[in-house]
Structure 1
Amino acid sequence: MMRRRKSTAKEPTIALINVVFLMLVFFMVAGQIAPSMDRELTLVRATDLEGRAPPDTLVVRADGSLRYRDDPVASAAAFAGALPEGERAEIRVVPDRDLPAADLVRIATELRGAGAERVLVVTERGLE
């Protein structure tokens, strides 16, 4: 007795390729139909603005020294301890680019140990 082999249906990959191609064409056309911006509109240019650190931030220089509003600060723990309870929850730190990462981690740990719930590091892109 001979057994008949079941013929397996091949997957219609050509149909799948056609569907993907049609979707691609649809989105290309839909993107062209979208209204463009007003040609007379001139966008604001912010590249010429000078980025500055926010005034209520702890600035850490490359040598590890701390400053707050241009006044020297003895330590990160003393800075956080001197803040009122409401301002201690979130402390912003602006580190110098050349500050070693280990020093930044140490300062953030000191701030957290002194009661800061969140320590936010302000970067150059954040100031742009």
Structure 2
Amino acid sequence: MARKPRKSGGEPTIALINVVFLMLIFFLVAGQVAPPLASDLSLVRTAELEGRAPPDTLIIRADGTMEFHGEPVQSATAFAGTLPEEMREAIRIVPDRELDARTLVGIAAELRGAGAESIRIVTERGLE
């Protein structure tokens, strides 16, 4: 006589329950890491702010012309030479969106050659 095959002991549901329980504990703990904001706090709205360059920044137009405080700048070397020593630590530039990347890199290299320790590019942050 042929023996009937034994049925398997069933699916290991205990392991699945353990995993789900551990995930539940993890999310309960992780959810408490950041405390909620105070209910009476109202956040600042920046949607209607006028976009303009911060003070003391070198503005570079799409055609490569530069200006500082509304005055034209002939070259990046001349601009860096007129700055006080403390402003040369971090020169901030605001390039036009249409400015060629090679032109931007060239101006940055010229600023570094004129003694700028670091160059920071100021951009518009989109919150969409």
Post-superposition offset of 1:29: 4.0
2:100 corresponds to: 100
Post-superposition offset of 1:37: 4.3
One-letter code aligned to 2:23? L
1:21 corresponds to: 20
One-letter code aligned to 1:23? L
One-letter code aligned to 1:26? I
1:67 and 1:15, CA in 2 relative to 1: closer, same or farther beyond 3 A? farther
CA distance in 2, matches of 1:87, 1:42: 36
Post-superposition offset of 1:41: 4.1
CA distance in 2, matches of 1:80, 1:101: 20
1:79 corresponds to: 79
1:23 and 1:89, CA in 2 relative to 1: closer, same or farther beyond 3 A? same
2:121 corresponds to: 121
1:14 and 1:118, CA in 2 relative to 1: closer, same or farther beyond 3 A? farther
One-letter code aligned to 1:25? L
One-letter code aligned to 2:52? R
Q: Which moved more, 1:51-60 or 1:110-119?
A: 51-60
Post-superposition offset of 1:44: 2.0
CA distance in 1, matches of 2:119, 2:21: 50
Aligned pairs, number: 113
Q: Which moved more, 1:99-108 or 1:23-32?
A: 23-32
1:39 and 1:74, CA in 2 relative to 1: closer, same or farther beyond 3 A? same
Q: What TM-score does the superposition give when structure 2 sets the normalisation length?
A: 0.74
Q: What TM-score does the superposition give when structure 1 sets the normalisation length?
A: 0.74
- Once the two structures are superposed, residues 13-50 of structure 1 have per-residue CA deviations (whole angstroms, 9 ceiling, x without a partner) of 98776554223212444538x87545554322111111
